[in-house]
Chains A and B, each alone.
Chain A
Amino acid sequence: MSSPISRRHFLKTSVFAAGTAIVGTGAANAAITSDEEKESLVTLIDISRCIGCEECVYACRDANAHKFADPKKPFPKMYPDRVPVEDWSDRRDVTDRLTPYNWLYIQYASATTKEGENISLTIPRRCMHCQNPPCVKLCPWGAAKQEKNGLSRIDSQICLGGSKCKKACPWDIPQRQTGTGLYLDLLPAFAGNGVMYKCDRCYQKIDKGEQPACIEACPEDVQTIGKRSDIIKMAKDLAKEMDGYIYGLDENGGTNTIYVSPVPFDQLVYDTGKGKPHMHPVKDTMAAGSNLAIAMVIAPIAGAAAAVGKYYRQMKEEA
């Protein structure tokens, strides 16, 4: 049987856990208020501390409610018929998965510790804020953007809702709401299908030097935000301290969200599927493009060399 109490005990007895919260707050404030810093902002999520109270989920909604879609019905008919209508506007209160109105949700997981004890864990899930985010880089319109502090977000004024970002995302994070956005002013029947929504790192709060709403609201100090180098060190120290495991540091070439768990991530049993991201290892999806960029530098040089070679051959023949 799962025992959340013993899981909490596991952590609360850890001297390190108490230390993290204090160090964490300091690191966060330092990084968030510092404009000179060139390092990206990273969050550490210590899942062993989370009690699944969903304070963060509701704080996220409150802080970002002004960004949510308010689509007018009926939606324009879209062609061909296979184009899916994705409407969450009547189900805005859903909290057990990611939706256009729920950018953070609590995933329930169970696992067995090294000591053979069954525990349950609750894991805050949202966009990982990849270091080289395919959702941003592959967006054909530039609707998704990444800021210098590493956060990625989708501009709801520009997004056409084609959902490419979701297909490109290794965790299928962005969620679509039909019947809103720019496509309505273009060719709503034939192109576009709404707007994609996801965690935007509370950029409006970060711009003011404040903490993201979910971090501020958490009674257990599950999340810590700060400079990449500080947070990586903290995550590694924490993992060492609890004899735990790290997720997100190398996934998809590195993300700005680092989970630390007392049990290996591949041993977590959790519900996954639509709007419920997995925690599998993820290879760097942008690596092929980055490697091919080198070929693009070499190819013109090779082409030019071939032309020069041909010229000298001909000059020799004609001499």
Chain B
Amino acid sequence: MVYHFKSRRIIYGLTLLFIALSGFAQMPIFKRYYIADIPGLGWLAQFYVTHAIHYALAAVLMGLCAYVVLDYYFARKTSGTKRIQITKDTRIAASAQLKIAALSGLIITGFFMVVKNLSGIYFPHGVVIGLDLLHLLFAMVLLGATAYTWVRRRTWIL
């Protein structure tokens, strides 16, 4: 693991864990299946709490994504200098490409879902259902790919 990526990996990992938990908590399942009864997890059954946490973490995740994408771009631009981890030849792993696609899908659908939730905004009913299902699908893809790269110890860049 490249040392200077460590802090961003920790932020990303924690954000992903709690944004996924608060996201799945939007479905009324944690109470039904006793998960919210586990001490310390009661908040998972409080819809306004999980809603706010999901939004706040989405802000963190988007901030981190913007930072990482631009940082990667600049690092490639300045390859050959002291920053040697990323060069012009650095490739993004296939699993990481899938994760990036899923993250992009989550951010785009999430953006429209946040807009829809503002007062006075009416999206067609089919669009709302589509956004809900796509957002869930992208989350499953991201979590699946993350589990794979975690087990296989795959890094984002080759």
| Residues of A near any B CB (own CB < 8 A) | 80, 82-83, 131-132, 137-138, 140-142, 145-148, 155, 158, 162-164, 167-168, 191, 253-254, 285-286, 288-290, 292-293, 295-296, 298-304, 306-308, 310-311, 314-315, 318
- Chain A residue numbers with a CB within 8 Å of B120 are 131-132
Q: CB of B148 within 8 A of chain A? A: no
Assess whether B119 is in contact with A132, with CB atoms less than 8 Å apart.
Answer: yes
Chain B 69-91 interface residues, beta-carbon cutoff 8 Å to A: 69-71, 74, 78, 81-83
A-B pairs with beta carbons under 8 Å apart, 19 shown = A132-B120, A137-B116, A140-B27, A141-B129, A145-B128, A147-B122, A164-B47, A168-B47, A292-B52, A293-B115, A296-B111, A298-B59, A299-B59, A302-B63, A303-B64, A308-B70, A310-B71, A310-B74, A311-B74
Closest to B67 in A: A303
Contacts A138-B51, A168-B47, A304-B67; A131 near B119 (Cβ below 8 A) = yes
Q: A314 to B63: give the CA distance in the assembly, Å.
A: 21
The listed residue (A148, A254, A300) touching B63 by CB distance below 8 A is A300
Give the total of B residues in contact with A, Cβ under 8 Å: 45
Q: CB of B150 within 8 A of chain A? A: no
Q: CB of B143 within 8 A of chain A? A: no
Closest to A143 in B: B129
- Chain B residue numbers with a CB within 8 Å of A310 are 71, 74
- Chain A residue numbers with a CB within 8 Å of B83 are 314
Contacts A82-B32, A138-B51, A288-B52; A301 near B129 (Cβ below 8 A) = no
- Chain B residue numbers with a CB within 8 Å of A289 are 51-52, 55, 114, 117
Assess whether A295 is in contact with B56, with CB atoms less than 8 Å apart.
Answer: yes
Assess whether B125 is in contact with A292, with CB atoms less than 8 Å apart.
Answer: no
Number of A-B residue pairs having CB atoms within 8 Å of each other in the complex = 131
Given contacts A286-B119, A289-B51, 8 further A-B contacts (CB under 8 A): A82-B34, A132-B118, A164-B47, A167-B28, A292-B56, A311-B74, A314-B78, A314-B83
Assess whether A285 is in contact with B70, with CB atoms less than 8 Å apart.
Answer: no
The listed residue (A155, A290, A304) touching B118 by CB distance below 8 A is A290
Assess whether B125 is in contact with A155, with CB atoms less than 8 Å apart.
Answer: yes
- Chain B residue numbers with a CB within 8 Å of A315 are 78
Closest to A285 in B: B48
Q: Give the interface SS of chain B, mostly helix, strand, loop or mixed.
A: helix
Q: A304 to B66: give the CA distance in the assembly, Å.
A: 5
- Chain B residue numbers with a CB within 8 Å of A298 are 59
Assess whether B29 is in contact with A191, with CB atoms less than 8 Å apart.
Answer: yes
Q: A163 to B71: give the CA distance in the assembly, Å.
A: 44
The listed residue (B34, B52, B67, B70) touching A80 by CB distance below 8 A is B34
Shortest distance from the beta carbon of A132 to any chain B beta carbon, whole Å? 4
Contacts A138-B26, A142-B132; A318 near B59 (Cβ below 8 A) = no
Q: CB of B145 within 8 A of chain A? A: no
Shortest distance from the beta carbon of B126 to any chain A beta carbon, whole Å? 8
Shortest distance from the beta carbon of A40 to any chain B beta carbon, whole Å? 9
Q: A191 to B28: give the CA distance in the assembly, Å.
A: 9
Shortest distance from the beta carbon of A256 to any chain B beta carbon, whole Å? 12
Assess whether B129 is in contact with A158, with CB atoms less than 8 Å apart.
Answer: yes
- In order of increasing CB-CB distance, the 5 nearest A-B pairs are A303-B66, A307-B70, A299-B63, A303-B63, A132-B119
Shortest distance from the beta carbon of A87 to any chain B beta carbon, whole Å? 18
Q: A301 to B67: give the CA distance in the assembly, Å.
A: 9
Assess whether A293 is in contact with B118, with CB atoms less than 8 Å apart.
Answer: yes
- Chain A residue numbers with a CB within 8 Å of B21 are none
Assess whether A318 is in contact with B71, with CB atoms less than 8 Å apart.
Answer: no
Q: CB of B94 within 8 A of chain A? A: no
Closest to A162 in B: B28
Q: CB of B100 within 8 A of chain A? A: no
Q: CB of B16 within 8 A of chain A? A: no
Q: A304 to B70: give the CA distance in the assembly, Å.
A: 6
Closest to A138 in B: B47
